[in-house]
C-alpha cells in the first residue's frame, strides 16, 4: 500500500492466502480487514487501519466510499496541522526579530533594508498561509454539508418504515413493540432536527442560505409555535402568555421564522425553573415587526451576552450539560433573522433575574435580503 497507494481490503483474512498463517490474524481470529492510505497531493501522510473480528466482508462498497471521504479529510487535516505549525513558527520568528530591532535599532540601522525585505517576504508567506487556512475552512463547511445530506436520506427512510410498522400496516403489534417503536421514532425525530440544524448552519456559514418570503398572519404563526412547545412547558409547569398586536399580514419566510420562535421558546423553557413564566410580545414599531420573548429563568451574566449568538456556545456549563443541546439554535436564529434584513439581541438584569430576547424584521419585502 505504501508503494501503490491502493486501499487493501481482506474480506476473510483468516482464510485468505498468505494472511491465513499470520500470527496476529490467527491469535485474534481476524475476519475483515481494511487498510487505507491518507494521501495529500499523492504523498502518503499516514494510514487508516480497521478490522472486524465478528463479520466477514464487513467493509462494503458504501462503507469504503465513506472511509475514502474521511481519509481525504484526515489527510487535509494532517497537512493543515503541519502547515499551521510552520506558520506559528514563522510568526514567533518574526515577532522575535521585530523585538530585537526595537531594542537595538541603532546597532542594526545598517541592516534596515535587509530586514524590511525579510519582513515583506514573511508577510507574503503569511498571506498565502492564511488563504490556505481559509480554503481548509471552506472545505470543512462543504464536508459538513455533504455529510448532513447523506445522513438525512437514510434517516428519513428509517422514520418512514418505523411509521409504517407503528401504524400496523404490515401486521398487528403488541404494546411492548409499540412502545419500542415510539422511542425509536422520537429518537430519530430528534436526530433529524439535529441534522437539519447542522445543514442550516453549514448553509449560513457558506453563504448559501436563502429564504422564501410570503404574506403571513403573524398571530397565527406565533400561536402555532407556542402550541408546538406547550407539552414541554406543561411538563415543567411553566405558563406561556402571548400578546400579539400585528393587525396586518407580514412578509416573512413562515417556516424559518417559526424556527426562530421555537428556538427562543425552547431556550426559555430549558433555563426557566419549574412554575416560571414566559411572555411573548409582538408589535409593529415604525416599519419594523418586533418580537420579544421574556422569561423568569436563570438569567445571563453581562459578560456572557456578547457570546450568546456565537455557534456552539453553552453558557453556564453545568446547567447546559443537564439540559443538553448543540449550542447552534441561537446562532442559526441570528442567521435567519439577518437573512430577513433584521437583527436579534438579548438582555438580562443578571443571574437569577430572567432574560429577554427580541428580534426586529422589516415589514416591507423590498428590505429583505439573503446573506
Q: Whole-prediction pTM value?
A: 0.54
All CATH 1.10.287 domain ranges of the chain, comma separated, are 108-206
pLDDT one-digit tens code per residue, 227-239 = 999 998 999 999 9
Q: What is the CATH number of domain 1-107?
A: 3.30.450.40
| Strands annotated E in the chain | 8-10, 32-40, 43-52, 214-216, 239-245, 250-252, 277-285, 288-295, 343-347, 355-362
Q: What is the pLDDT of residues 175-186, one digit of tens each?
A: 888 888 888 887
| 3-state secondary structure at position 187 | helix
**Extended beta strands in 26-89, E state:** 32-40, 43-52
Please report, rounded to a whole number, the percentage of residues in the chain having pLDDT higher than 90: 28
**Spatial separation of the C-alpha atoms in residues 105 and 99, rounded to whole Å:** 10
pLDDT average, residue stretch 46-52: 87
Tell me what pLDDT residue 314 has: 63
Reply yes or no on whether the pLDDT at 322 is more than 70: no
Which segment of 198-207, 226-235, 355-364 scores lowest on mean pLDDT?
198-207
Question: In what order do the strands lie in the sheet containing 43-52?
Answer: 8-10, 32-40, 43-52
Give the up-direction half-sphere exposure of residue 302: CA atoms within 13 A in the CB hemisphere: 2
Asked whether 346 and 305 are in contact (CB, 8 A), the reply is: yes
User: Backbone phi, then psi, for 73, in 5-degree steps?
Assistant: -65, -40
CATH 3.30.565.10 location in the chain: 214-367
Cell of 108: 542594526
CA distances (Å), 22 to each of 34, 55, 62, 219, in order?
Answer: 16, 19, 28, 72
For 108-206, CATH number? 1.10.287
Work out the burial of residue 315: count CB atoms within 10 Å of its CB; fewer than 13 is exposed, 13-18 middle, 19 or more buried. middle
Tell me if residue 33 falls in helix, strand or coil. Answer: strand
pLDDT at 222: 96
**Of 266, 271, 276, the residue nearest 322 (C-alpha):** 271
Q: How many CB atoms lie within 10 A of CB 323?
A: 13
Residues forming CATH 3.30.450.40 domain(s) in the chain: 1-107
Cell numbers given for 132: 490556505
Burial tier of 122 (Cβ tally within 10 Å: 0-12, 13-18, 19+): middle
Q: What is the pLDDT of residues 99-132, one digit of tens each?
A: 877 777 776 676 777 778 888 888 888 887 777 7
Interatomic CA distance for residues 95 and 106, integer angstroms: 18
Select the CATH number that applies to the domain covering 214-367 from these four: 3.40.50.1950, 3.30.300.30, 2.60.40.1170, 3.30.565.10: 3.30.565.10
Alpha carbon distances (Å) from 87 to 30, 94, 248, 270: 43, 10, 56, 43
Residue 14's contacts (CB-CB under 8 Å, 6 or more residues apart) are 20, 25, 26, 29, 30, 31
Amino acid at each position: 500500500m505504501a508503494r501503490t497507494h491502493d486501499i487493501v481490503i481482506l474480506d476473510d483474512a483468516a482464510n485468505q492466502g498468505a494472511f491465513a498463517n499470520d500470527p496476529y490474524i490467527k491469535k485474534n481470529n481476524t475476519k475483515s480487514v481494511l487498510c487505507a492510505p491518507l494521501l495529500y497531493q499523492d504523498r502518503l501522510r499516514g494510514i487508516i487501519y480497521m478490522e472486524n473480528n465478528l463479520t466477514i466482508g464487513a467493509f462494503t462498497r458504501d462503507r469504503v466510499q465513506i472511509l475514502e471521504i474521511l481519509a481525504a479529510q484526515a489527510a487535509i487535516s494532517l497537512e493543515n496541522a503541519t502547515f499551521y505549525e510552520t506558520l506559528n513558527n514563522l510568526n514567533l520568528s518574526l515577532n522575535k526579530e521585530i523585538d530585537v530591532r526595537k531594542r537595538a535599532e541603532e546597532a542594526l540601522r545598517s541592516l534596515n533594508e535587509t530586514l524590511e525585505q525579510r519582513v515583506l517576504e514573511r508577510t507574503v508567506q503569511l498571506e498565502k498561509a492564511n488563504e490556505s487556512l481559509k480554503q481548509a475552512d471552506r472545505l470543512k463547511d462543504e464536508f459538513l454539508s455533504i455529510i448532513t445530506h447523506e445522513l438525512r436520506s437514510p434517516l428519513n427512510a428509517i422514520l418512514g418504515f418505523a411509521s409504517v410498522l407503528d401504524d400496523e400496516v404490515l401486521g398487528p403489534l403488541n404494546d411492548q413493540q409499540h412502545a419500542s417503536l415510539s422511542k425509536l421514532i422520537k429518537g430519530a425525530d430528534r436526530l433529524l432536527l439535529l441534522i437539519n440544524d447542522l445543514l442550516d448552519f453549514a448553509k449560513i456559514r457558506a453563504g448559501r442560505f436563502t429564504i422564501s418570503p410570503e404574506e403571513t398572519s403573524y398571530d397565527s404563526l406565533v400561536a402555532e409555535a407556542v402550541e408546538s412547545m406547550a407539552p414541554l412547558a406543561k411538563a415543567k409547569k411553566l405558563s406561556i402568555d402571548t400578546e400579539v398586536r400585528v393587525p396586518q399580514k407580514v412578509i416573512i419566510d413562515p417556516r424559518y421564522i417559526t424556527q426562530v420562535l421555537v428556538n427562543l421558546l425552547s431556550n426559555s423553557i430549558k433555563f426557566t425553573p419549574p412554575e416560571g413564566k414566559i411572555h411573548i410580545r409582538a408589535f409593529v414599531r415604525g416599519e419594523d415587526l418586533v418580537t420579544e420573548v421574556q422569561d423568569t429563568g436563570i438569567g445571563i451574566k453581562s459578560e456572557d451576552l456578547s457570546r450568546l449568538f456565537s455557534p456552539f456556545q453553552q453558557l453556564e456549563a453545568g446547567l447546559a450539560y443537564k439540559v443538553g443541546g448543540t449550542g447552534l439554535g441561537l446562532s442559526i436564529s441570528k442567521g435567519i433573522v439577518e437573512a430577513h434584513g433584521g437583527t436579534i439581541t438579548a438582555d438580562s438584569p443578571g443571574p437569577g433575574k430572567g432574560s429577554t430576547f427580541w428580534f426586529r424584521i422589516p415589514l416591507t419585502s423590498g428590505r429583505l435580503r439573503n446573506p
